Structure 1
Amino acid sequence: MKYKNVLIGFILLFSPAIVNAQSPTMASPFVHAKKVYVDQKSKIIYWPISIPFYIRLAVSEEEGASSYLLQNTSGSSSTNLSEHVVRGVKIEMSGPQFIRWYNCATKDTVLFKFFADGDAPNSTANMSGAAKYVAGDKVIYGRGLKCTISSEDSMVGVKDTYVSIDGREFEPYRTELYFDQEKDYNLRFYAVDLVGNASSPKELKFTIDLTPPVTKHKILGHVIENILSPQNTIRLNSFDELAGVKRTYYKFDSQNEYSVYLGSPIKLSKLSNGTHKLIYYSEDHVNNVEDTSSYRFYIDTIPPTVNILIDGDKYHSTKKVYVSAQSQVKLKATDNKIGVDRIEYAINSKDFQTYTKPFTLQANRSNYEIVYRAIDKLGNISNPRRWILNMDVTAPQSSIKFIGVSYEQRSIVWITSKTKISLSSHDDKSGVKNIKYQIGFDQEKNYSGPFSLDKEGKYELKFWSVDNVNNSEAKQKLRIVVDNTPPSIIVNFSVASIDTTKSNDGSILEVFPCNTSIFLGATDASASSEGIWYSINGRSEKKYKTPLTFRKEGNYKLIIRSRDRVNNESIKIVSFLIKD
């Protein structure tokens, strides 16, 4: 029993916050009078340790029988007399007590037993039915909390247990306590035994948390009207005022399982293009679960489509694209959802720059590499596209060719109406688009093939060519004379005829004396004569160089032929007789 008293003293000494913590504003426990308790069944007497006891002698065991108080015969002055029997007998410790009667004659001893009780009951509170969370010195319970208080006494037994909630008057404890309001609670309780020993009130301070957390989402990065890009992330921010957030969960669309949000922003890079829904909720440390919230959004993973256009001169060959110095480069982009923010381009591996308007390329390079891309309003960037543009700033070079006879002198070309005029052109880059020509003041024409000039006369021919990016050659001019008339042959005899005679065919022949000479000549009004040829009496033709002298008598047939420089030819036959 001494050990038990010491243990209780230890608890009282080191647990003031639980056992003896009372606020000045709290209702005080009841005052319980000490009284003796007799167990009616066992007839055991339980005596409050704080009450001294006295010994009386009764004449019978019946109630109301005469009794006589025994006096202390030891004398109050005795130094051996315990102070506990001066005014009644004071009991020092709880437990069984004995009063001994000693028969001096027979030496017999009789013991009278009772129990001294100075120990208060012990009460405990059992909290159940709800989740518990301790944050520092604060205890928090969730929904469904109930409390059962149990008291026990080591000796006489518990008479009653009392409870006080939030400082109100103590009431006898009869049934389970339920706490169903969200608030801070102060619960005090104690017990009293059958002899009036009352325990000091124990105090429990705790909070009931019935409110779930509140979770909000926040979009990180640029967003427009709930249209997001794969570069965006979503942060979940949860708040719980009392127990605090335990976990936050989320999932996308129709996923079966929720994921635990670990604090880092949620990445969207694995979501497909299209409409999605983020579903999320949180729970606190006492199992209050938030209703799910959702956020619908559209993931735009498709970057803009960008095209390059040439405004003006352009020619696309099988392998190359040619432009001229006047050509303007245009960039045009479209986006399927959010819209184009900007177009960027780089020329010849230089840094990207923002496209604002069509631009031209300088003529001092033969080709340009243009890399271009587009960015939508969410930052989706199209894959760079590359286009090589070849500069063509040089005009074609045309030439003329005559098919058939022609003769050129002093920048004048003589031809006949049978002569064909052929034009050709060459271009090293984009190639020849067409060749044009103009005769005199006639309307210019596109050259399609060799042509001729039917009428005799003088012409001015202009011709030039244009390449496929409209570089135009300077017009070339050529004077042309169409000559279809052969030379005129002139025959002069050195002497006059001396007679005439009739030939075998009946024609009249002039008669010239021996050693007569003939002088030949030819005139041409245009291309000029190229020469005179002659044949005498069917012999081989010879070119005329000097006068012809006829020394022998006989009939002569002289065939004379003359040709100008464009092969217009005339023939003249002269028949005559040489006679001495």
Structure 2
Amino acid sequence: GANQQVTGQAVDNADNSASATVSGISIDKTPPSLSGAPTTPANSHGWYNGDVTIQWEASDGLSGIDPSTMPADSVITGEGDNLSASASVSDKAGNITTATVGPIKIDRTPPVTTASVPDPFPSGWYAGPVTLTLNALDTLSDVDVTYYSVDNGAPQVYSGPFTFSLGGVHEIRFWSVDNAGNVEDSSAADHVITIKIDNIPPTITGFASPAPNGNGWNNTPVTVTFYCQDNESGIASCPDPVTLSTEGANQSVLGTAKDNAGNTESTTVGGIKIDLTPPVTASDAPPGWTNNAGVTVNLSATDNLSGVAQTYWQLDGGSTQTGTTITVSGEGIHSLTFWSVDNADNVEGAKSAEVKIDRTPPQITLQWPGASISDGQSFYFGDVPPAPTCLASDALSGVNGGCTVSGYGTSIGSYTLIATAADNAGNVSSETIRYTVLPWTLRGFYAPVDMSTGSTLIYNVVKAGSTVPLKFEAFKGNTELTDTAVVVQPPKAQLANCAGGAAADEIEMTATGGTSLRYDTTAGQFIYNWQTPKTGAGRCYLVTVALQDGSSISAYFKLK
């Protein structure tokens, strides 16, 4: 205590006593109290991330604190989870107290956060959502929370791997905070990751050139060109132009575009129709000459692909017409030019045909080597003029095969002599002359031979082996014929049926009198001395004398 006193009494041996009091005695045996505390509190996790100042407080209830021993503030500058600060203080009685403040947890080092994502395409782009994983590490106070932000937006708490699907180019910054409140530098280059997501396919369009005509056809090769665009990752590949040079309908070209994120898009340029071949037109114009008043020519055009659009023609150099039916009239050689165009605008090379019309028959001229024959004229046998020849001419198509004469004859009868000629168009011309060849007049047999009359048969009975004079006359009109050449020699003798007079067989006739046949100028008649067969009594014969014109007389004989 303070201000204590002590009274002391001394007694000698004489029992004398004396006392004295000593006062103002202060005794302090209790050490002072000493405590320290951080001047700033730890965070909610009990951690500091900087120096910690410990402020000391001391008290002593008796002697009081020796001011010279009062400790100054302690500063903890290290790093650790069990740091402390110690201090001592003395009271005025010399009692000493030492105190320690701890544990103090100081973490000065921010955590380290790394990010991991799947590898992108070589272009650095992704074609779809990306899973982002953040790994934070703090070796002292441990990680409190990890953040990330997208394109410097509001921080978001990372709670585990997350999928990022926002298309385009985006920066994801990430950082962590440890339990001591140390904040990782999010501005560091290694704390930002750029994610490029292109989940939109590129666009591709194709165009065919040259454009088709109004019928949808081309008549030249067609080149298909593709145009590709990608507003995010950009185009990695776009098809080269493709040229179609093969004929055909409904052709197409497929093109595929690919962006740097691997997205693809395809398009087909179809409906391409190519026809490189012109149509073919034929005509049924007659190949040669014709004698028709009008000729209808039909044109037929074919095209195996685009089809025939129109057929054109010109006649005799006139204006161009359309259609497939042409009527040609008028004599002469007509020139027809024609061609067709198909639906692909292929133009056929002009073709030509001739339409040759000749309606005029050829001209005929009879040529007589001597006398001529007039229409309706008559001649006796042997007096007919020699046969004519003929010439024909035709100013257009020309004579086909020359001129022929038919119907000429010199035998007895009526004749129609026709000279005929045809031209190459089929026109036929003819000249007709009608004439008659009259027979000679044959009279006889005269006596001694009797002639049958009507249906009555008269048999001249003669002795076998005897000679019978056959007498007769021949006249050409009123002119008597005296030349034996006009008689067909020898006369004919045929066995005859004695009952009915039908000719049965012919025998050889012999003549007597020096000549077979003679003309008796005195009697003015022909005489043929027929020697009858020496055998064959009872047989009958039909004896006939004929002239060169075919006239004849006959008589029946019976041998006895």
Q: TM-score, normalised by structure 2?
A: 0.46
Larger Rg: 2
Q: Which has the higher strand share?
A: 2
* Normalised TM-score (structure 1): 0.45
